[in-house]
Amino acid sequence: MLNLTSTQRWMEHFFEEILTHKEHLSDLDNPIGDGDHGINMARGVEATKEALATKDITSINELFKTIAMTLLSKVGGAAGPLYGSVFLAFAKASLDLESLSKEQVITLFEEGQTALMSRGKAGVGEKTMVDVWVPFTAQFKKGAVRLEDVDGFVEATKPLKATKGRAAYLGERSIGHVDPGSYSSGLLFKTFLTLELF
Amino acid sequence: MRGLVLVSHSEEIVKGLYSLLKEITTKTPITLGGGLEDGSIGTTFDRVLKAVEENPAEEVYIFYDLGSARMNIEMVMEASSKTIHLIHAALVEGCFVAATLLEAGVSNEKIMKQLEPLIIK
Residues of B in contact with A74 (CB under 8 A): 44
Q: What is the per-residue pLDDT across B58-108, written as a single tens digit (0 to 9) for each?
A: 999 999 998 889 999 999 999 999 999 999 999 999 999 999 999 999 999
Residues of B in contact with A80 (CB under 8 A): 42-45, 68, 71-72
- Helices B45-54 and B67-79 cross at an angle (nearest 10°) of 60
What is the share, in percent, of chain A residues with pLDDT greater than 70? 100
- Give the pLDDT band of residue B28 (cuts 50, 70, 90): very high
Give the pLDDT score at B67: 82
In eight-state DSSP terms, residue A147 is H
Separation of alpha carbons B108 and B83, rounded Å: 12
Give the pLDDT score at B70: 96
CB pairs under 8 A between A and B: 50
CB B93 within 8 A of CB B116: no
Provide the β-strand partners of residue B85: B61
Q: What is the per-residue pLDDT across A87-96, written as a single tens digit (0 to 9) for each?
A: 999 999 999 9
Of the partner residues A80, A85, A120, the one whose CB lies closest to the CB of residue B44: A80
Q: What is the per-residue pLDDT across A124-181, written as a single tens digit (0 to 9) for each?
A: 999 999 999 999 999 999 999 999 999 999 999 999 999 988 889 999 999 999 999 9
Report which secondary-structure segment, H or E, holds A129. Answer: none
CATH number for the domain harbouring residue A179: 1.25.40.340
The active-site residue, picked from B6, B7, B8, B9, is B9
Count structural domains, chain A. 1
What mean pLDDT comes out for the span A42-61?
97
What mean pLDDT comes out for the span A33-61?
96
Instruction: Give the Cα-Cα-Cα angle B33, B39, B40 (nearest 5 degrees).
Output: 100
Residues of A in contact with B77 (CB under 8 A): none
The answer to whether A76 contacts B72, with C-beta atoms less than 8 Å apart, is no
Whether B88 is a known active-site residue: answer: no
Of the partner residues A77, A84, A85, the one whose CB lies closest to the CB of residue B42: A77
Superfamily of domain B2-118 in the CATH hierarchy = Phosphotransferase system, mannose-type IIA component (3.40.50.510)
Answer yes or no: is pLDDT of A82 > 90: yes
Instruction: Give the Cα-Cα-Cα angle A45, A75, B41 (nearest 5 degrees).
Output: 135
Using only C-alpha atoms, what is the Rg of chain B? 13
The answer to whether A78 contacts B41, with C-beta atoms less than 8 Å apart, is no
B contact test, residue of A40, A67, A71, A127 with most B CBs within 10 A? A40
The torsion region of residue A144 among left (phi > 0), alpha (psi -120 to 50) and beta comes to: beta
Residues of B in contact with A78 (CB under 8 A): 67-68, 71
Give the pLDDT score at B17: 98
- CA A140 from chain centre, in angstroms, equals 15
Give the pLDDT score at A166: 84
CB atoms within 10 A of CB A169: 11
Residues of A in contact with B74 (CB under 8 A): 81, 119
Domain that holds residue A34: 2-194
Average pLDDT, chain A: 96
- Give the pLDDT band of residue A34 (cuts 50, 70, 90): confident
The answer to whether B71 contacts A166, with C-beta atoms less than 8 Å apart, is no
Give the pLDDT score at A165: 84
CB A16 within 8 A of CB A150: no
What mean pLDDT comes out for the span B31-36?
97
B contact test, residue of A74, A82, A129, A163 with most B CBs within 10 A? A74
Chain A residues whose C-beta is within 8 A of a chain B C-beta are 36, 40, 72-78, 80-82, 84-85, 119-120, 164-166
Of the partner residues B41, B44, B74, the one whose CB lies closest to the CB of residue A72: B44
Answer yes or no: is pLDDT of B39 > 90: yes
Give the pLDDT score at A33: 87
- Helices A4-20 and A180-194 cross at an angle (nearest 10°) of 140
In eight-state DSSP terms, residue B26 is S
